[in-house]
Amino acid sequence: MKDIEKMESKLPVAPLKIAALKSCENLAKKVDKYIVSFRKDSLNDLDRNLYSTYECDSYLTDIACPRFGSGEAKGVIKESVRGKDLFVMVDVCNHSLSYKVNGLTNYMSPDDHYQDLKRIISAATGKAYRVNVIMPFLYESRQHKRTKRESLDAALALQELVDMGVSNIITFDAHDPRVQNAIPLHGFDSFNPPYQFMKALLKAEPDLKVDKEHMTIISPDEGAMGRAVYLANVLGVDMGMFYKRRDYSQVIGGKNPIVAHEYLGDDLKGKTVIVMDDMISSGGSMLDTTKQLKERGAEKVFICTTFGLFTDGLAKFDEYYEKGYMDRIITTNLTYLPPELYEKPYFIEADMSKFLALIIDSMNHDTPISDVLVPTDKIHDLLAKHR
């Protein structure tokens, strides 16, 4: 692999350690296995001689965030991280974890996960050579801009992390990557998973025809235009979009309600349609989009979304699948997914663990990540094999 060969020619900046909070344990274990295999397959003995811990059975660090009966907590790192290149992993959207407050069960919110992240950074007490944060779903990324008298939570969180000594913040498909302007002198990278989407989709649908006559990429709103334009250009197909017509005279649930989805684009009759977006929250607007696409003659509708939050459950998705309004949902394992989702006939997981392992290993070796950041060549190679 080209990426591995580049890393072999560079020295690590420091011995690697991965501190995965409980919210991100499963993903971190997969990432760790990949890094272990990368380094065991390495042909270069220089790194092995430089660090006794360069090649080992695991890079995971034993950490914990125990809580008192009042609900207060502390961060504990149970082994030395002095001089280490520390990567702290957290999934702020993992709603499955709970703790006791005065005997009552309280489920962890993004705020709780973010506080635990800061506790682990604080527990390192400045002894690590470098602290990097891997936060696949960027905390408060949906509150990335201010209108009227509102808090600017995403910017505040980023500034707080760099003030604590974090060198690099790694996220995926940030709702608006321009939020990095809040920390212009610090490392911030937002990666996108179009290659993993296409790899998972083509594996599940081997007869799929990827050309201008049979496929169209759709953006469900104005915010997702960049993702759709990129994938359409790489695949060499057309794209279309919906825009949300809102009622700005009222606010419901913190936002202006959507009145209708209006379509802009070519005829979809008989075509396979891929709908691209960064997340499915409740899924209402996405499902309405798939219904309209089928009503416009689309033969198959595939949803590709980086984060499947499913905040209102899966019942509506089951209904739309049974009615034939959608055919597949492809989402990544970067955030917690409910176990019942894996039993659904329409679900495809885009595994991001190997990609994340490459990112961590590249940064630890201080090699350029431009090839990882822009997956155009990998998608072209994938299409060539498919055809």
Most confident of 94-103, 137-146, 218-227: 94-103
Pairing between β-strand 300-308 and β-strand 272-280 as defined by DSSP bridges: parallel
Residue 282 to residue 287: CA distance in whole angstroms: 10
Give mean pLDDT, residues 218-239.
90
- At 259 the pLDDT is 67
- At 79 the pLDDT is 94
Residues ≥6 apart with Cβ < 8 Å to 242: 218, 219, 220, 221, 261, 262, 263, 264, 289, 292
Instruction: Flag the least confident range among 140-154, 228-242, 310-324, 325-339.
Output: 140-154
- At 181 the pLDDT is 92
Q: What is the pLDDT of residues 288-319, one digit of tens each?
A: 899 999 999 999 999 999 999 999 999 999 99
Residue 251 to residue 249: CA distance in whole angstroms: 7
Please give the backbone phi and psi of residue 2, each rounded to the nearest 5 degrees, phi first. Answer: -60, -40
Give mean pLDDT, residues 260-276.
87
- At 251 the pLDDT is 77
Give mean pLDDT, residues 12-25.
95
Residue 78 to residue 120: CA distance in whole angstroms: 11
- At 254 the pLDDT is 67
Tokens of 59: 């890079």
Percent of the chain past pLDDT 90, that is, above it, reads 70
Residues ≥6 apart with Cβ < 8 Å to 203: none
Tokens of 274: 């891929």
Residues ≥6 apart with Cβ < 8 Å to 200: 330, 348, 349, 350, 351
Residue 347 to residue 341: CA distance in whole angstroms: 7
- At 147 the pLDDT is 79
Residue 206 reports pLDDT greater than 90? yes
- At 35 the pLDDT is 94
DSSP 307-348: EE--TT-SHHHHHHHHTTS--EEEEESSS---GGGGG-TTEE
Residue 159 to residue 165: CA distance in whole angstroms: 10
Percent of the chain past pLDDT 70, that is, above it, reads 92
